[in-house]
Amino acid sequence: MNLKKSLKPIRKQLQNKNRLYHTIRRVYTHLSELSNEEILDYYNVNSLKELDEHIQHIKAILKKQIQNHEEEREELDACFCVDSRGDFKYLYEDKKEALKQIEYSMQTKGVKLTLYACPFHCGWHLSKT
């Protein structure tokens, strides 16, 4: 068995692995501070393979949206999450800002809010518990 030859695919896989995390941190600035594990956690996947599949899926959706709404391209950054009344939810691109809001709401109104990741992966939302 040729050892050198058999190691090649592994090395290539490792390069791709780091590239995907790198790309995610660069494209999604709100994830730039997260570790590889935290990124997997954020996307609710268990492995790099699942993460890759998920990203491919998101890319396909975004591509479709761009084709369908060429003129609305600017709004691609926004998510489409609505609250129980059908209003658009406030999006926190900065996790720290959202956490500050939780504290503020608790102190001033005594309302307990919970943080959760936007399903469209735009940032974070708060919901009442």
Contact positions toward Zn ion, by CB under 5 A? 79, 81, 118, 120
Find the Cα–Cα–Cα–Cα dihedral 41, 37, 16, 13, rounded to 10°: -110
Q: Which long-range contacts (CB under 8 A, 24 or more apart) does 24-29 make?
A: 24/55, 28/121, 29/93
CB of 123 to Zn ion, least distance (A): 7
CB of 15 to Zn ion, least distance (A): 32
Beta-bridge partner residues of 128: 113
Closer to Zn ion by CB, 17 or 121: give it.
121
CB of 23 to Zn ion, least distance (A): 21
Closer to Zn ion by CB, 17 or 89: give it.
89
